[in-house]
Amino acid sequence: MKSALLMVDLQNDFCKGGRLAVPDGDAVIPLANQIQQKFECIVATKDWHPASHLSFASNHSNKKPGDSIILSGIDQILWPDHCVQESEGSDFHPQLNTTRVSQIIYKGTHPEIDSYSAFFDNGHLRETVLSEWLLAQHVTDVYVLGLATDYCVKFTCLDAVKLGFNVFIITDACRGVELHPGDCAHALQEMQQANIKLIRSKDL
């Protein structure tokens, strides 16, 4: 058995002052640095959108962030422009230690479909290299932290367990968007029902 730490989207745009700031998102950074010390295999993900990405409300007339549309046959929430490729907002948080990161996974690169999960786009039409890379490292157990609990963290965890990994979410090292009250609680419940183990950093 070999473990990997997967740090989801610890980027400027999801932290304080960012274009899509997750409430209290910055609080995850020092904890992520601390947790890294317990792992040899560390992966970090990045939202990496082209400016023309159709999940951006700005790319639709008469639409605003929070509206929903059908995109590539899938319900899509429209977001503020965020994590545009090569922008400062797409950079990792400046206080995040990235010296021990073995692999960076870029997602959300196709303009016509969003990618919450680090493994697949939202339609499961295209796969990132993450699963292949973890298997090549003989990883069986995946520990997940990051932003946001109710979107990219949740869908990453759900895909990981479907792919056969043992999955653990480090709940105190995640924060959620909470577009609707209770979204994070529902996300954690959904993950637990999928046999994803909810742990805290002190349990590592």
Residue (of 13, 15, 33) closest to 23 by Cα position: 15
- Three-state SS for 105? strand
Q: Across residues 43-65, what is the average pLDDT? A: 97
Q: Active-site residue numbers?
A: 9, 107, 152
In the predicted structure, residue 15 carries a pLDDT above the cut 90: yes
Mean pLDDT of the chain: 97
Q: What is the pLDDT of residues 79-124, one digit of tens each?
A: 999 999 999 999 999 999 999 999 999 999 999 999 999 999 999 9
pLDDT band at 39 (very low <50, low <70, confident <90, very high): very high
Quick count: other Cβ atoms within 10 Å of Cβ 174? 26
pTM over cut 0.75: yes
Calculate what percentage of the chain has a pLDDT beyond 70: 100
Q: What one-character-per-residue DSSP string does 63-104 give?
A: --TT-EEEETTEEEE-B-S-SBTTSGGGSBPTTS--TT--EE
Question: What pLDDT shows up at residue 26?
Answer: 96
Tell me the sheet residues that pair with 169: 144, 198
The reported pLDDT for the residue numbered 1 is: 86
pLDDT digits (tens, 9 = 90+) for 148-180: 999 999 999 999 999 999 999 999 999 999 999
18-30 average pLDDT score: 97
Residues 117-145 have pLDDT tens digits of: 999 999 999 999 999 999 999 999 999 99
pLDDT at position 140: 98
